[in-house]
Amino acid sequence: MEKDKISFGHDFLKMLGRTRLRPGGGLMTDWLLNQVQIDKDMHVLEVACNRGDNLIRIYTKYKCEIIGIDNDPVIVEQAKENIKILDLDKEIEVKNMDALKLDFEDETFDLIINEAMLTMLPNEEKAKTLKNYHRALKKGGYLLTHDVAVENESEDVRRQLSRFTNMNVYPLTVENWNRLLIENSFRPFSQRTGRMILLDRDTIIKDEGPIGAANFYKNAYAEGNRDRFTKMLERSQNTKISYIVLASKKEN
Ligand SMILES: C[S@@+](CC[C@H](N)C(=O)[O-])C[C@H]1O[C@@H](n2cnc3c(N)ncnc32)[C@H](O)[C@@H]1O
C-alpha cells in the first residue's frame, strides 16, 4: 500500500501487519465467541469482516455456515484472496455490503458478530444498524459486539479518539452501549470491559504470533512509519479508552 494513501488508523496498523484491529485484541474476540455455544448447524454473519481473519478462524474452529460483509470493496477482494489461498472459498462467502443496508432475508442468521465498527457510526446510524441486525437474526439469535468505551462522551474525549483513529468516531459509555442494545430489542447477558489493549506488546504477540509481532514492530519502527506509530502509541497510552465486549440475545 502506498503511504500517502493511508488515511485511517486501522489502515495504517493493517499495513504494519496488525490483522486483528479490535480494542480488546483477539483475546476479547475469543472471550466473546465463548459466550455462545456455536455449532456447525449455525448460520453466522460477520459484519465488518475486513480481510477475513475472523471468518477463517471461526470457520476453522466451528465448521459453521459463515458469511462476511464489509463496505470497503478493496478489503473484500483481499479477504476473498486470503480465503482462496487457504482453499476455503467454497466454505466462506464474502460480500461487499454496507451494514446500514443489510441485504439478507428476515431471520436468516443464528449469530452476528460485529467488532470495531459500530463506534465509527453516528448514534442514529448505530440504531439503524442494530435494527437491521435484529431483523436479520432468527428468534433468540445472538449478537456479539466489540467496541470502544469511554468514561464520558464529551467532545474532548471524542476528539482524542478521533485523532488516534484518524477518522470521526462516536464511542459510548458502558452504560450507553447497554442502553443502545436494550432500546433496539437486544438483551445483553454477558459483558466485559477494560483498558484498550490493541497496541500492547503482549496482545500483539498473542494475536499475530511471535514472528508476526516481530515483523509488525520492524515495520512500525522503520523510517517513514516510526513517527506516526510512536504518536499513535502515545495517544493510546494518554487517553482513557476502554474496550467493551457484549454478548446479547435478540428479544422479540
Ligand atoms: C477497525 S476495522 C475492524 C475490522 C475487524 N472487524 C476487526 O475487528 O479486526 C473497521 C472495519 O469496518 C468496516 N466498515 C466500516 N463501516 C462499515 C459499514 N457501514 N458496513 C460494513 N463495514 C463497515 C471497514 O471497512 C473496516 O474493515
The pLDDT tens digits of the residues spanning 121-145 come to: 999 999 999 999 999 999 999 999 9
**What is the value of pTM for the model shown?**
0.91
* The pLDDT of residue 85: 97
Cα of 216 vs centre of ligand 1, distance in Å, is: 21
C-alpha cell read off for 67:
458469511
Characterize the bridge pairing of strands 241-250 and 137-150: antiparallel
Nearest atom in ligand 1 to the alpha carbon of residue 19 is 9
In what side-by-side order are the strands of the sheet with 109-115? 92-96, 65-70, 43-47, 109-115, 137-150, 241-250, 186-195
The three-point CA angle 57-219-226 to 5° equals 130
Cα of 49 vs centre of ligand 1, distance in Å, is: 6
Cα of 72 vs centre of ligand 1, distance in Å, is: 8
Query: Residue 183: what are its φ and ψ, rounded to 5°?
Result: -65, -20
Give the tens place of pLDDT for each residue, 17-76: 998 888 999 999 999 999 999 999 999 999 999 999 999 999 999 999 999 999 999 999
Over the chain, what is the mean pLDDT?
A: 93
Enumerate residues lining ligand 1, CB below 6 A.
Answer: 10, 20-22, 47-48, 50, 69-72, 75, 98-100, 115-117, 120
Task: Tell me how far the alpha carbon of residue 186 is from its chain's centroid.
Answer: 19
CA proximity to 53, closest of 193, 192, 208:
208
CA proximity to 117, closest of 69, 78, 160, 81:
69
**Lowest-pLDDT range, 30-34, 201-205, 234-238?**
234-238
Cα of 155 vs centre of ligand 1, distance in Å, is: 23
Q: Print the SS3 string covering 44-65.
A: EEEECCCCCHHHHHHHHHHCCE
Question: Band of the pLDDT at 159, cuts 50, 70, 90?
Answer: confident
